[in-house]
Structure 1
């Protein structure tokens, strides 16, 4: 597995490309029954300014955390902040469709780059879970991502 993450200041950006319209990829990142396949189920009223509860289905113990929806511009941009025991996470999902192919950019706005060696491999894993959920292929193992990808991300600093 080759990492895709890039660092722009304190923004960690990872990409995946899908042979699908943006609306279909959007559904994969916003509909609870589809997010449960690669990230976690969620519950609550999904609208800008609202807080939903997300179950991190692929973390030890499948904990719940809160996510505030900051902006939702279907099917191109979702911005949210998540809070869990590790702190706050400020994220954006950006979708761009060109000729039936959609590029997904996940932007994690880091407070500083100190943790990029841990954060980057995690997002690579989650995005590959998304790919597997859409393609019906076997789920990857986190052990293939961390600590193997840690040096790559630390070298981005």
Structure 2
């Protein structure tokens, strides 16, 4: 697993490394036709400041986001809002090195929900990496992978970097 680090309090920070150019990662992050390979069923996607992103995470459970900042191929900042949760913010920053891209995902404003989001974002980042490499993971595998990551995270969380 290319997980580099995880930290949380009321903000979750996950750093993930992907061996690919930043433009390839950016395309999967922001291209409406590719976002569904890592985030869920995208119903609406306007990748521009002021644009909207609506994702169905299954059975009509919708997350609505407003794009606040979009700086290709480096930074995406958006709101994150499920109907039964307070509005929060997700920032995704790409930092390209010679042979990889460090993807830093910062989900702020989660409060007590921060820990519950950790395995979910790690699962989504696994899907992101697979999509970048041209091997999208079937959505039918999401909850099984999520359960595995949750078990590993729960067992290792005191010793994670």
TM-score range, shorter chain: 0.7 to 0.9
1:53–1:17 CA distance, 2 compared to 1 (3 A): same
Unaligned runs of 5+ in 2: none
The offset of 1:9, in angstroms, is 5.0
The 8 Å contact of residues 32 and 45 in structure 2, kept in 1 or not, is answered as no
Question: Deviations 1:98-153 (Å, cap 9, x if unpaired)?
Answer: 224211111111342x3233111111111111122233275552221235524645
The offset of 1:96, in angstroms, is 0.9
Within-5 A mapping of 1:23-38: 23-38=23-38
Once superposed, which parts of structure 1, at least 4 consecutive aligned residues long, lie more than 6 Å away? none
Superposition RMSD in Å: 2.7
User: What TM-score comes out, normalization by structure 1 length?
Assistant: 0.79
Give the match's secondary structure for 1:37.
coil
Work out the number of aligned pairs and report it. 152
Question: Deviations 1:25-64 (Å, cap 9, x if unpaired)?
Answer: 10011112111111122424332123332233xxx42533
The 8 Å contact of residues 116 and 154 in structure 1, kept in 2 or not, is answered as no
Structure with more helix by fraction: 2
1:154–1:19 CA distance, 2 compared to 1 (3 A): closer
Distance 2:29 2:21 in 1: 13
